[in-house]
Amino acid sequence: MERTRVATSLAGAVSEEIGAFLAPVDAALARHYPGDPGTRQPVHTVYVPGDVFAADTVRSWGEQALAALDQHAPDAASFAAVLGLADDLAGPVYERVRAKLAREPIEDLRVDFEDGYGSRPDAEEDEHAARAAQLIAEARAEGGITAPYVGIRMKCMEASVRRRGIRTLDVFLTGLMAAGGLPDGLVLTLPKVTYPEQVTAMARLLGESEQAHGLAPGRLGFEIQIETSQAVLAADGTATVARMIRAAEGRVTGLHYGTFDYSACLGVSAAYQASDHPAADHAKAIMQVAAAGTGVRVSDGSTNVLPIGPRERVHDAWRLHHRLTRRALARAYYQGWDMHPGHLPTRYAAVFAFYREGYEQAAARLARYVRRVDGDVLDEPATAQALGGYLLRGLDCGALDDAEVTEASGLSRAELERFAAPRRAGAADGGAADRPTTAAVRPSRA
């Protein structure tokens, strides 16, 4: 077959000139939008007041959650009936929930020195911060049931509590270093942020801590809690949360929505303060857009309706929590807050059902994409990335097993990771594209 003659009109220098002109943009894109870090994201965060946190907190929450199941849903059929799970999901979800509560009941634990802790004498807060560091270090050293992610929520950067918050953080980090060093998965949370300058102050505080302890620059990262209207929209009409990500100087790892503080800030009546209120949806949508592509992850908030009391009341609270968790997952908020051990069964039931009911279809679509086989859905590289991420999230939390995902997709875990984070591990079509790591050290997916 005779080859078609190809003709062009532009001089070769044009492409080089455009490339030179856009070089700063290329650098800015790589710096500000590196893509997802490719590490495990916990499905929730559990807050425990600093004076309540104990060596057996994680184990105790798991035991209490299992006891709630035994009392109010002792088998798969009864649990599925409460939550409306499909018959084919009832057994696998229930079994996995129980196994998770025994093995790893909490994925992300935050020892709270803010709203859940309140104001205490300085000596008392010092003691609790030092004790938290010691207990975390001992739990890691002994290899017992611990959370993959753990840290503290300090007081905010407002003038009235700033010194106390800085001191608590200093006591906690100093205690960890004295007990053997910082654990992988260390997470620090800065609440009630209103101005980007408070974020910059936190970033610089962590830089000073690194110097004081001889840590590598960038070792310490932190989450920002979005709990005020000023954190979403500034007085000049700009999206404050986007400026906060930039102000963190590469250290911010997450944006966490504070359901009740934010709702109250907007004047929402207490009876209507919930994570599915339109005001909440607006705030989280702004957070999501601001964080997209930056490597910063978004977390939903919580429900304050606790599953305690008579069985009927527990079941009502379970249904509410399950519905809100499913709703968040569908909106790509893969993390939330849990306030009580009784929330753990429905957190994991919602998460496990979300991944188990869709993994076969997702795996088949990804397999067709890899083989370039036509199907009833025309997928693009970005969709293949989303499919890979979906399967990996299911594997990370325990909803799925490596063997069943590999069988359904024909892809190994390493291959899935290349699809899920192509800018980190190499493009899905086989190209390589390294990206910088985030500031905080987080447990890997392996």
pLDDT in tens, 179-190: 999 999 999 999
pLDDT at 425 over 50: no
User: pLDDT tens digits for 221-250?
Assistant: 999 999 999 999 999 999 999 999 999 999
What average pLDDT score do residues 206-233 get? Answer: 97
0.75 surpassed by pTM: yes
- Taking a C-beta distance cutoff of 8 angstroms, is the pair 281, 268 a contact? no
Can you give the C-alpha Rg of the chain in angstroms? 23
pLDDT at position 140 over 70? yes
Over residues 72-118, the pLDDT tens digits come to 999 999 999 999 999 999 999 999 999 999 999 999 999 999 999 99
Cite the residue boundaries of each domain of the chain with CATH code 3.20.20.60: 44-355
Distance CA 204, CA 193 (A): 15
Residues 6 or more apart whose Cβ sits within 8 Å of residue 78: none
Domain covering 44-355, topology: TIM Barrel (3.20.20)
The residue count of the chain comes to: 446
Per-residue pLDDT reduced to its tens digit, 303-354? 999 999 999 999 999 999 999 999 999 999 999 999 999 999 999 999 999 9
Task: Look up residue 183 and give its DSSP letter.
Answer: P
Instruction: Give the DSSP H or E segment for 415.
Output: helix 413-420
pLDDT of res. 419: 79
Distant-in-sequence contacts of 266-275, Cβ < 8 A, 24+ apart: 266/229, 273/304, 274/303, 274/324, 275/300, 275/301, 275/302, 275/303, 275/324, 275/327, 275/328, 275/336
H helix runs in 104-195, sequence order: 122-142, 162-178
Q: Average of pLDDT values for 288-293?
A: 96
Percent of the chain with pLDDT over 90: 83
Mean pLDDT of 410-424: 80
- Average pLDDT for the chain: 92
Contact 68, 341 (CB under 8 A): yes
100 vs 141, higher pLDDT: 100
The DSSP bridge partners found for residue 189 are 153, 223
Q: Is the pLDDT of residue 47 over 60?
A: yes
Does 201 score more than 70 pLDDT?
yes
With a CB cutoff of 8 Å and minimum separation 6, the contacts of 375 are 364, 365, 368
pLDDT above 80 (res 357): yes
CB-CB contact of 191 with 152 (8 Å): no
| Per-residue pLDDT band at 173 (split at 50, 70, 90) | very high
First vs last C-alpha separation in the chain: 50
Task: Name the band, by pLDDT with cuts 50, 70 and 90, for residue 421.
Answer: confident
Q: How far apart are CA 347 and CA 105, in angstroms?
A: 10
DSSP readout, 214-268? TPPTT---EEEEE-SHHHHB-TTSSBHHHHHHHHTTT-EEEEEE-HHHHHHHTT-
Token pair for 87: 């018959």
Least confident interval from 31-35, 62-66, 196-200 = 31-35
Rounded distance between C-alpha atoms, residue 173 and residue 84, angstroms: 45
| 158 Cβ neighbours under 8 A, 6+ residues apart | 192, 194
What is the SS3 assignment for 309?
coil
Rounded to whole angstroms, the Cα distance separating 201 from 51 reads 27
Residue recorded with tokens 């429905």 = 346
Q: How far is Cα 362 from Cα 384, in angstroms, rounded to an integer?
A: 9
Where are any strands of DSSP class E within 11-116?
44-49, 108-112
- Give the Cα separation of 256 and 275 in Å (integer): 12
Angle of CA points 367, 369, 372, to nearest 5°: 110
Q: What is the pLDDT of residues 363-404, one digit of tens each?
A: 999 998 888 766 555 567 888 889 999 999 999 999 999 999
Distance CA 301, CA 226 (A): 10
In this prediction, residue 8 carries a pLDDT of: 86
Q: Which residue has the higher pLDDT, 429 or 42?
A: 42
Side by side, the strands of the sheet bearing 108-112 are 297-299, 252-257, 222-226, 186-190, 149-153, 108-112, 44-49, 336-338
**How sure is the predictor about 144, in pLDDT bands with cuts at 50, 70 and 90?**
confident
